[in-house]
């Protein structure tokens, strides 16, 4: 177990899917500091989802190591799962259940119970402006409301690390601002956030550090402002992204 | 434990809030079981009670024609049609009407058929008394063949055809015996002075006593309800595979499975909660079927379902069948990538299992190879177990082997799902 201040460490991480000669991720080394809002950016098929899936323990890499808060999945999968929170891009909720029922179920899955869970659910619902809709079924919610509940389900247990996969996709500006503001607040309390997005402007403003991944490799990494300053032709994160990954269309 | 209980509660909420799905889960099996039992009952009645229209063309106008005619009328199996629109039916019209399916069968007795039989009987008697000259007897020794034409609708059930043929054979042989006896008696009377011809009296020398074999003291009477309720209950229990596989695929498609896999605790907990809920549904379906058999079917003119005294055996078989079905649902839900795959494969495979299990055609009449394959159908094990209880009065000891096979199938299916899941994870 390495002694490190990094909350996430990827060492020579490589993943080949069965039947494929091309690696989905190729010998990636990455250190993410505690308290960072770290953006994993890249075009479709770049290797972001594979990286996140390995970070969440969904499958093992072909080679290399992953350390989460100094632990690895081989030895401490359950401990790691207790300190991470995942917010998938899909609305991973049960539409026929109310917001409260969904959150109670996911809270129980994280081992929360009783009065603490009830208080925590109320607190989160209030924080995201959904307390009046707690007993409504998810299928009656707007897209933005669903996104907020989707987010709450991943942060209910106050994880040390949150993985956010396109958390603001397909929602209005108001909901987006509410989500990002609250994520900033959560981050200020010490939670590390790993974030993927296709919205470059959002990533530029939201992330403290970003890595641009393409074809399974990290092409560049750094603080958004420093990256923009690094070359004269760079005006914003999007110009860096297009410069590095090219303008050709990508399909997953 | 909290995770399992919470998962079970969540599955229960998801299930009961899908009212249409819930109605389908319970109402459709009831509809199926009632319709199938009524149909089977109707088939049973076809032979006994339902009058099937039949054309009879009697060109003989003598003893044979009359004997067949009388026999057919008296049998009450058939509604005999000899005239249509006041005119005698011709051979050609009879063939046409049967070919169109308007009538199931037409029987045409040829002219002088009785005379031909009489000739044959006399020929036989003459052959027997060859050395004795019986006064007045004809010297004919040559036999002639009588051709009774029978037109059959190609869509007619084979067993119905067999029944008609055996009835006809019975009428003709009875007549032949009568004729033989009469002529033989007359010949003897001519040989023995003072001997009067004896009048033929028909009586049943041999009587058949049908008893359904049972090692138990109770003797449950087999009938369409006793056969169909267990058979179709087993079938519908297995159809739980479809909503269950659908539930697993939906959870995977909407990302909930992804989220659950990133959470602490084994994902198997989530699967066990599904098994628990759907096992409950299967058991409830089973209870409902029994209630339909006991209380609803008698109001529809069907016999009442006899549950018998071995209720624990019944519960064990129901649970074992439910486990086999839910295990199969988990395997299909894990392996199938779309709802379409799961629905098509699931439904067709259950129908194959059911066919092999003997739900439509009894296994004992199947070809040898199919019989061997049948031994591996979970529906065959289930059906055998239920028949042991419902028809043979079997207890827990009798059905335990079948129940164990079903539980083994459940474990096997879970293993298949786990192995496939791990294989996918390692991709």
CATH of the domain at A85: 3.40.50.300
Q: Which domains does chain B have, with CATH numbers?
A: 2-43+222-425 (no CATH), 52-191 (3.40.190)
Of A190 and B143, more confident: A190
- A110 to B263: CB separation less than 8 angstroms, yes or no: yes
Chain B residues with CB within 8 Å of chain A CB: 2-3, 5-7, 9-10, 13-14, 17-18, 254-256, 258-265, 425-427
Distance (Å) from the alpha carbon of B271 to chain A's nearest alpha carbon? 13
Alpha-carbon gap: A212 to the closest alpha carbon of chain B (Å):
25
8 Å CB contact of A96 and B13: yes
Chain A residues with CB-CB distance to B under 8 A? 17-18, 56-60, 78, 81-82, 84, 86, 88-94, 96-97, 101, 104-106, 108-111, 113, 137, 153-154
| Residues from chain B contacting residue A121 (CB–CB below 8 Å) | none
C-alpha to C-alpha distances, A228 to A209, A214, A220, nearest whole angstrom: 12, 18, 12
- Cβ contact B261–A111 (<8 Å): no
Residues recorded for chain A:
252
Q: Do the chains contact at A109 and B425, CB–CB below 8 Å? A: no
- Please judge whether A109 and B3 are an interchain contact, meaning their C-beta atoms are less than 8 angstroms apart: yes
Most confident of B7-16, B141-150, B298-307, B352-361: B7-16
Is B255's CB within 8 Å of A113's CB?
Answer: no
Q: Judge whether A224 and A207 are in contact, CB under 8 Å.
A: yes
Check CB contact under 8 Å for B263 and A109. yes
Q: Do A105 and B9 touch (CB under 8 A)?
A: yes
- Residue A224 corresponds to which tokens in the numbers above? 């958004």
Mean pLDDT on B365-393: 86
Of A18, A92, A137, the CB nearest to B259: A92
Task: Select the more confidently predicted residue: B228 or B352.
Answer: B352
Residues A118 and B78: their CA atoms lie apart, in Å, by 75
Residues in Cβ contact with A55 at an 8 Å cutoff, skipping those fewer than 6 apart: A8, A66, A68, A84, A163, A194
Question: Band of the pLDDT at B220, cuts 50, 70, 90?
Answer: low
Q: List the single residue in B with minimal CA-CA distance to A154.
A: B259
In a domain, A252, yes or no: no
Instruction: Let me know if residue A1 belongs to a domain.
Output: no
> In chain B, what percentage of residues exceed pLDDT 70?
89
pLDDT at B172: 80
Which chain B residues are Cβ-neighbours of A18 within 8 angstroms?
A: 426-427
Q: Model's pTM, two decimal places?
A: 0.77
ipTM given for this complex: 0.85
Minimal C-alpha gap between B254 and chain A (Å): 6
Q: What angle is formed at CA A95 by the lines to CA A90 and CA A97, rounded to 5 degrees?
A: 130
How do residues B11-25 score in pLDDT, each as one tens digit? Answer: 999 988 888 888 888
Structure tokens at B107: 């029987």
Query: What residues of B are in contact with residue A82 (Cβ under 8 Å)?
Result: 264
pLDDT greater than 60 at residue B46: no
Tell whether A240 is covered by a domain: yes
Interchain proximity B427–A59, CB inside 8 Å: yes
- Cα–Cα distance, B241 to B250 (Å, whole number): 14
Let me know if residue A45 belongs to a domain: yes
Residues B352, B413: contact at Cβ < 8 Å? no
Domain range enclosing A130? 6-245
In the DSSP assignment, the letter for residue B363 is G
Q: What is the mean pLDDT of residues B215-222?
A: 61
Shortest Cα distance from B414 to chain A (angstroms)? 20
User: Does A250 reside within a domain?
Assistant: no
Query: Which residue from B258, B87, B234, B73 is spatially nearest to A49, judged by alpha carbons?
Result: B258
What gap in Å lies between CA B418 and CA A56, rounded to an integer? 20
- Contact at CB, A111 and B264, closer than 8 angstroms: yes
Give chain B positions within 8 Å (CB) of A56. Answer: 261-262
Contacts of B190 (CB under 8 A, 6+ apart): B134, B135, B136, B137
Q: Is residue B311 within 8 Å of residue B393, measured between CB atoms?
A: no
Evaluate whether residue A251 is within a structural domain.
no
Q: Which residues of A touch B8 (CB under 8 A)?
A: none
Q: Give the whole-angstrom CA distance, residue A106 versus residue B262.
A: 11
Helices (H), B107-156: 113-128
Number of domains observed in the structure of chain A: 1
Q: What pLDDT does A106 receive?
A: 93
How confident is chain A (252 residues) per 10-residue block, as mean pLDDT?
A: 70 87 88 90 82 87 90 88 89 92 93 92 90 92 89 91 85 81 89 87 86 86 83 76 66 51
**Structural domain includes residue A77:** yes
Please check whether residue A100 lies inside any domain of the structure: yes
Q: Residue B407 in contact with residue B320, Cβ under 8 Å?
A: yes
């Amino acid at each position: 177990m390495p002694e490190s201040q990094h909350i996430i460490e990827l060492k020579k991480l490589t993943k080949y899917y069965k039947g494929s000669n091309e690696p989905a991720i190729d010998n990636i080394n990455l250190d993410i500091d505690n308290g960072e809002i770290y953006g994993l950016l890249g075009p479709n098929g770049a290797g972001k989802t594979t990286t996140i899936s390995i970070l969440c323990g969904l499958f093992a890499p072909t080679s290399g190591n992953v350390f989460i808060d100094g632990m690895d999945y081989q030895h401490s999968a359950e401990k790691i799962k207790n300190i991470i929170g995942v917010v998938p891009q899909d609305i991973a909720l049960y539409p026929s259940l109310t917001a409260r029922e969904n959150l109670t179920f996911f809270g129980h899955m994280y081992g929360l119970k009783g009065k603490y869970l009830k208080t925590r659910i109320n607190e989160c619902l209030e924080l995201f402006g959904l307390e009046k809709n707690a007993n409504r079924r998810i299928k009656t919610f707007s897209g933005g409301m669903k996104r907020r509940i989707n987010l709450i389900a991943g942060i209910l247990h106050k994880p040390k690390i949150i993985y956010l996969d396109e958390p603001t996709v397909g929602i209005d500006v108001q909901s987006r601002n509410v989500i990002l503001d609250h994520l900033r607040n959560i981050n200020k309390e010490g939670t590390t956030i790993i974030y993927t997005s296709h919205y470059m402007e959002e990533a530029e403003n939201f992330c403290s550090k970003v890595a641009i991944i393409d074809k399974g490799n990290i092409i560049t990494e750094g603080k958004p402002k420093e990256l923009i300053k690094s070359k004269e032709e760079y005006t914003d994160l999007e110009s860096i992204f297009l410069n590095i990954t090219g303008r050709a269309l990508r399909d997953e | 434990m909290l995770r399992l209980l919470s998962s079970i509660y969540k599955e229960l909420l998801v299930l009961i809030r899908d009212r249409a799905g819930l109605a389908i889960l319970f109402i459709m099996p009831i509809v199926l079981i009632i319709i199938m039992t009524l149909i089977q009952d109707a088939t049973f009645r076809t032979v006994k009670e339902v009058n099937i229209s039949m054309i009879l063309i009697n060109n003989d106008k003598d003893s044979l024609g009359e004997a067949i005619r009388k026999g057919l009328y008296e049998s009450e199996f058939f509604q005999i049609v000899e005239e249509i629109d006041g005119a005698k039916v011709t051979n050609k019209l009879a063939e046409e009407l049967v070919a169109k399916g308007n009538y199931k069968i037409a029987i045409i007795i040829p002219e002088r058929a009785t005379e031909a039989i009489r000739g044959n009987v006399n020929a036989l008697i003459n052959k027997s008394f060859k050395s004795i000259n019986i006064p007045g007897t004809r010297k004919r020794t040559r036999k002639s063949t009588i051709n009774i034409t029978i037109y059959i609708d190609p869509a007619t059930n084979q067993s119905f055809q067999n029944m008609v043929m055996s009835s006809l054979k019975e009428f003709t042989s009875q007549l032949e015996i009568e004729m033989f006896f009469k002529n033989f008696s007359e010949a003897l009377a001519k040989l023995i002075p003072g001997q009067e011809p004896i009048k033929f009296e028909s009586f049943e020398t041999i009587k058949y006593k049908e008893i359904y074999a049972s090692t138990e003291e109770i003797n449950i009477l087999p009938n369409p309800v006793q056969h169909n309720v267990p058979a179709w209950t087993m079938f519908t229990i297995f159809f739980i595979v479809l909503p269950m596989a659908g539930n697993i695929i939906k959870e995977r498609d909407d990302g909930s499975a992804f989220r659950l896999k990133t959470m602490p605790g084994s994902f198997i907990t989530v699967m066990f909660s599904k098994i628990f809920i759907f096992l409950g549904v299967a058991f409830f379906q089973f209870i409902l079927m029994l209630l339909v058999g006991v209380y609803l079917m008698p109001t529809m003119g069907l016999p009442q379902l006899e549950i018998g005294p071995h209720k624990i055996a019944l519960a064990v078989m129901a649970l074992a069948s439910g486990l086999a079905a839910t295990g199969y649902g988990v395997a299909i839900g894990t392996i199938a990538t779309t709802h379409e795959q799961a629905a098509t494969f699931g439904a067709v495979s259950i129908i194959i299992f059911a066919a092999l299990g003997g739900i439509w055609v009894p296994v004992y009449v199947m070809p040898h190879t199919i019989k061997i394959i049948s031994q591996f159908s979970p529906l065959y094990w289930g059906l055998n177990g239920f028949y042991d209880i419902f028809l043979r009065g079997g207890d827990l000891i009798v059905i335990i082997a079948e129940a164990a096979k079903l539980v083994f199938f459940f474990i096997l299916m879970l293993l298949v799902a786990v192995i496939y899941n791990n294989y996918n994870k390692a991709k």
